[in-house]
Amino acid sequence: MKPVLSQNEIVEIYHSIDAAGKIAFQRVFGKEPFQIDLFEKIKTFEDGLAFKGLKAEDVLPIVPSFMKPAEKCIHGLCKLIFLIEIFNEGWVADFSKDDIKYWPWMIYKAGSGLSLRDVDSGYSRTCVASRLCIKGENTCRKFANQFQSIYNEHML
pLDDT number for residue 17: 84
Do 31 and 104 share a structural domain?
no
pLDDT number for residue 126: 53
Do 78 and 8 share a structural domain?
no
Indicate the helix (H) or strand (E) that contains 22: helix 19-29
Do 12 and 26 share a structural domain?
yes
Do 126 and 54 share a structural domain?
yes
| Distance of alpha carbon 84 from alpha carbon 104, whole angstroms | 12
Give the pLDDT means over successive 10-residue stretches in the chain (156 positions): 74 82 89 87 96 94 94 96 93 83 81 76 62 91 94 90
| Distance of alpha carbon 144 from alpha carbon 119, whole angstroms | 9
| Distance of alpha carbon 90 from alpha carbon 25, whole angstroms | 13
Any idea what DSSP says for residue 122? T
Bridge partners of residue 106, in order along the sequence: 116
Query: What is the span of the domain harbouring residue 76?
Result: 38-155
Q: What is the pTM of this model?
A: 0.78
Q: Is residue 119 within 8 Å of 144, Cβ to Cβ?
A: yes
Q: How many domains does the chain have?
A: 2
pLDDT number for residue 90: 82
